[in-house]
Structure 1
Amino acid sequence: MARPDRSIDPRIIKSAEKEFLANGYEKASLKEICQKAQITTGALYKRYKGKEDLFCAVVADTVAALNAVMEEKCSISVEKLSDEELVTAWEMNASTLWWFQFLYEHRNGFLLLIKCAEGTRYSDFQHDWVEVMTGKSYEYFLETRKRRLTDASISRDEMHILLSAFWTTIYEPFIHGYGWEQIKEHCKLICDLFNWRRVLGFPSV
């Protein structure tokens, strides 16, 4: 009895990732993907419903990793945090570098989501991700106001705008193909640019 070729799926994913990165979802060719994976189109359609289904399979691990991080962050009960924890949550250096390290480990999938997803269910990924981040961030901010740690007045819409600007500075190095050393230097610039303690009205340290 012939053994199933278990190398087919990894070959498809690898070939599809390269094609989507090179041409974006809309211009990507299933024919090219199949040729480079050395399979027939019939073999591909046995595994995936079509091009979008294949794109989603390519980014699945990255999406799962991002969702896991966000679920962990959203599970934090801000009411149980100390005053110091609420304020230091806005410190930039360590947390921003952590995000860059995490995203760099998932850089191909992340780049597909932020640059190559037009035409898929992830077309609005950049906006949707910021919106999720805004929800939890604003919850932190409201708790600081409730405890009179700040008297700054910032609406949820303003928080979304600020975080959109912040996350654009996160996205762009990946779009421009920065290496890790460049990203570390870029991280320092971001931390100098975004002084959340001042914006949110926390005392200077």
Structure 2
Amino acid sequence: MPRDKSFSHEKVNRAIREEFLAKGYEGASIRSIGERAGMTSAGLYRHYADKAAMFDAMVEPLVKDIKAWISSHKNKKYSLIESEGPSVKDEVFGESFFDLIEDIILPKKAEFQMLINCSKGTKYENFIHDFVIQNQDDFLYAIQLMKKSGYPVVELSQEELHMLLSAYTTACFEPIIHNYDDDKIKKYLTTLQDFFMPGWIKIMGLS
């Protein structure tokens, strides 16, 4: 009877996920992953070329989804700002970073925890810093658009904005990193939204 290759691959992926979450990338071993999957190291290599490829397979789909959401989100916001519609405030902040977390990150919470907590030694180990830098550039561009459109934006240095975005991003990711249940995460995100959103509205001259 032929072996079910899809089941075998799912079993390997489950073992990989468990190993990285338990030990991190640097502490994980091919041998231990094989033991979790019930196969030899040679058997694992029929699924993935090496440990780096295994980690990539776990987190790269999530990273791509996050980047795609950010790209779509910022382009929508830029268009709204340039349109100068009467409800631009509500529309610009109608979809927020909290939607990214709820729609994209929470369904792949284990992969996100792996990305943030377990990625030392991989190309993803500076994910949060790189994420903040990209959002900093996007936010500065949005502020310039607001200023050009006549909104009384708050003048911020790159350093100030970096500190604000670092605090904001870290706070929003904390409940997921600490593996709270989804209901608690959503509750804490509502608190963070109530705290941070008035500040972002003020900075963009929409208060």
Q: Which bin holds the TM-score, normalised by the shorter protein?
A: 0.7 to 0.9
Rounded Cα–Cα distance in structure 2 between residues aligned with 1:139 and 1:89: 18
What residue is the counterpart of 1:98 in the other structure?
A: 99
Match of 2:168 in 1: 166
Structure of higher RCO (CA pairs closer than 8 Å, 6+ residues apart): 1
Cα offsets for 1:103-158 (capped at 9, x unmatched): 11121111111111110010100111122222222221111111221142112332
The 5 Å alignment of 1:55-94 reads: 55-76=55-76, 78=78, 80-84=82-86, 87-88=89-90, 91=93
1:58–1:109 contact (8 Å) kept in structure 2: yes
Q: How many residue pairs get matched?
A: 202
Change beyond 3 A, Cα 1:202–1:53 = same
Deviation at 1:89, TM superposition (A): 5.6
TM-score normalised over the length of structure 1 = 0.86
Equivalents in 2 of 1:145, 1:14: separation in Å? 49
1:12-161 matches, cutoff 5 A:
12-76=12-76, 78=78, 80-84=82-86, 87-88=89-90, 91=93, 95-102=96-103, 103-161=105-163
Partner of 2:201: 197
Is contact 1:52–1:120 with CA below 8 Å preserved after alignment? Answer: yes
Deviations 1:50-99 (A, max 9, x none): 2111101111221221122123234447254325565346637x624423
2-side partners of 1:74 and 1:165: how far apart? 20
TM-score, L = length of structure 2: 0.86
Query: For 1:147-194, what per-residue CA distance to the aligned partner results, in whole angstroms no more than 9, with x for missing partners?
Result: 221142112332222111111011110111111111122012212321
Can you give the 5+ residue segments of structure 2 that lack an aligned partner in the other structure?
none
- Taking a change above 3 Å as real, the CA distance of residues 3 and 31 of structure 1, as seen in their structure-2 partners, is closer
Whole-Å separation in 2 of the counterparts to 1:74 and 1:90: 10
Gap runs ≥5 in structure 1: none
CA contact (8 A) 1:86 1:144 kept: no
Percent identity over the alignment?
27
Instruction: Tell me, yes or no, if the aligned pair for 2:25 and 2:118 is still in contact at 8 Å.
Output: yes
CA distance in 1, matches of 2:194, 2:174: 17
Give the SS at the match of 2:45.
helix
| Cα distance in structure 2, aligned partners of 1:47 and 1:123 | 24
Structure 1 window deviating more from structure 2 (30-39 vs 147-156): it is 147-156
